[in-house]
Amino acid sequence: MNTTDIAPTMARLFAELVNGTATFDGGYIVNTGDIGLVESLEKLSAADASRSTNDGATIAAHVQHERYGLALMNRWAREGGDPFADAKWDEAWKTREVDAATWREIRNGFASEARQWLEVLRTPRETSGTELNGMVASIAHFAYHMGAIRQIDKQARGPKEGTF
């Protein structure tokens, strides 16, 4: 199947999560005035990113996990095949305490992978049903981790409804 008809929708929804709603008239996933996850992460220090809630994963681990997942999706877009066959998902979750340089590298790598994936979503392509499911799921999965990050540290949260 071809993504021509759905590409603009996928790109719009993912762009809201990554970049916020500033270039859009309102939001479908996040509230109007939300700056998106990339800019939200810029507000957090390495110490903030190293904290967890209730002994859960740190923000740095969530961001590294999303970075890795997006890198696999981008690899699929470039090369095809199944980049998930040899995926090492556990590595990202080992990310605990980060220093400023490591946190900056994680954030920058994450932002780069997110921008690349946004371009993939924006560009129509032929896919199988399974591939299209993966593309759509990548948006929902990203939103899940964005929500988790925003629950761990309120500095990363977007505006409350009605406050914009």
Report pLDDT digits (tens) over 39-79: 999 999 999 999 988 889 999 999 999 999 999 999 999 99
Per-residue pLDDT at 154: 87
Q: Provide the pLDDT confidence category of residue 131 given band limits of 50, 70 and 90.
A: very high
3-state secondary structure 92-157: HHCCCCCCHHHHHHHHHHHHHHHHHHHHHHHCCCECCHHHHHHHHHHHHHHHHHHHHHHHHCHHHC
Show the domains of the chain with their CATH numbers.
Answer: 7-22+33-156 (1.20.120)
Average pLDDT over residues 122-128: 97
Does the global pTM surpass 0.85?
yes
Per-residue pLDDT at 79: 95
pLDDT in tens, 90-117: 999 999 999 999 999 999 999 999 999 9
